[in-house]
Amino acid sequence: MKKLQLILLLSLMLLLYSTTIVGQCNDLSIDNISNPGPYNVETITEINGIRNGPFYFGATIYYPTNKTELLASIAIVPGFTALPSSVESWGPFYASHGIVCIIIGTNSIYDFPETRAIALLDALETIKQENSRASSPLKNLLDLNKLAVSGWSMGGGGAQRAAVIDNTIAAVVALCPYLNDPQLNHSSPVLIFSGENDAIAPPEQQANIHYNRTPSTTNKVLFEIKNGNHYVANSPNGGDGAVGRLALSWIKLYLEGNNCYCSLLKDHISSNPIATSVIKQNFECESLAVNNEELAIKVYPNPVKNFINVQIYKNVHYKVFSTLGQRLSEGYLSGDTKQIDLSQFSKGLYYLNIEGHIIKLIKNN
């Protein structure tokens, strides 16, 4: 009888927790994404000591100053003959929503997409070095497993090619991309924006082909802005703000690993907002249910008395919740020995959240 009561109690607790997580997701809305977002933004440049990358010319890093979690990053490069100022509004936008953004120039304004791809990868190297540079305000604050690329026009083609060259890139946002005869065999989730009236990179000659040439096994979306020209995605304000809202949601989903944004994206895209003339999509939402297998997570001992060991191949952020959804602890697991101290917790049931995957923990005294 007592065993049955325990099973019923655990089931009820899991239901309460699941309801809390769903409630947290329900608090999110793509339509409520603002510009700017909730975080304060600062910038650093080479004058402040950031690396001078050999494959690009000049860089500005925009970063949030009041976010407590480890930071994901995105690198952005402009298009043919264009300067960084042509896409600079993306920097404060992403940073104000908690994403570090480096915007670079090119060694030649006439660089073609393949050269811009190398420039983006070089920019990501600069980001990586900021995590260890002694005087950097970003020292030890970056999650180097969460890196994305973006670009406009030939820079967008370069972003796609960067994902082909480096398969660790977590996400791509291609802004009216230009790349003739694209070879795009990569697995990085890609969001492609285009303008219906783009005379420089006509969608049927560029963006549509980019979408079709990206493998069907890759998560991808093509979002064509109604009446938009080649400059419609230079700013997050394009398409009456739809460009920024969708780009941020894509980055939140695939770069930060926030699964709540997946169903929001699905609903927003399927509703065919007024700003859109063509939508193509091929991506699926993962369940928010308990799932340890996808990331090959092992935790032991469980039940636990003091320290729980987490076995996972990569460095990750974790959170521990009560059965009522209260966040009790959080931190970053890195290195070969990954442990969480639960010694101060009282006896009972808790939930460990690692990148959206929920694991039940039983604490014994």
Whether 235 is catalytic is no
Residue closest to 69 by CA, chosen among 255, 287, 298: 255
Q: Write down the pLDDT at residue 6.
A: 40
Structure tokens at 158: 């370069």
Task: Using alpha carbons, list the distances in angstroms from residue 25 to 132, 288, 310.
Answer: 34, 10, 26
pLDDT at 3: 44
Residue tagged active-site, from 143, 194, 198, 210: 198
- A 10 A CB-CB count for 23 gives 10
Share in percent of the chain as helix, strand, coil (round to 5): 30, 25, 45
With a CB cutoff of 8 Å and minimum separation 6, the contacts of 303 are 361, 362, 363, 364
Asked about 153 being catalytic, the answer comes back as yes
Q: What domains can you pick out in the chain, each with its CATH number? A: 30-282 (3.40.50.1820), 290-363 (2.60.40.10)
Q: What pLDDT does 116 receive?
A: 97
Question: Cα–Cα distance between 113 and 28 in angstroms, integer?
Answer: 36
Rounded to whole angstroms, how far apart are CA atoms 171 and 296?
21
Per-residue pLDDT at 127: 98
Stretches in the chain below the pLDDT threshold 50: 1-24, 287-295
Closest CA to 62 of 93, 101, 104: 101
> Per the omega criterion (within 30 degrees of 0), is the bond before 301 cis?
yes
Marked catalytic residue, from 153, 188, 194, 249: 153
pLDDT of residue 357: 73
C-alpha span between 119 and 253 (Å, rounded): 25
pLDDT at 297: 77
Question: CA-based Rg of the chain, rounded to a whole angstrom?
Answer: 22
Total Cβ atoms within 10 A of residue 67:
17
Tokens representing 102 are 């480096």
Question: How far does Cα 69 stand from its chain's mean position?
Answer: 14
* Segments in 166-310 forming alpha helices (H): 207-213, 242-254, 260-270
Asked whether the beta carbons of 357 and 258 are under 8 A apart, the reply is: no
Q: What is the crossing angle of helices 242-254 and 260-270, to 10°? A: 150
pLDDT, tens only, 275-302: 788 889 998 775 433 334 444 678 888 8
Token readout for 134 is 């002694």
Per-residue model confidence (pLDDT) at position 252: 93
Q: How big is the CA angle at 89 (ends 83 and 95), to the nearest 5 degrees? A: 120
Distances (CA, A) of 212 to 157, 171, 224: 14, 17, 14
How far apart CA 259 and CA 290 sit, in angstroms, is 13
Are the beta carbons of 70 and 317 closer than 8 angstroms? yes
In the DSSP assignment, the letter for residue 304 is B
Catalytic position from the list 230, 268, 317, 357: 230
- pLDDT tens for each residue of 97-145: 999 999 999 999 999 999 999 999 999 999 999 999 999 999 999 999 9
Residue 142, Cα to own-chain centre: how many angstroms? 13
Q: What pLDDT is attached to residue 284?
A: 77
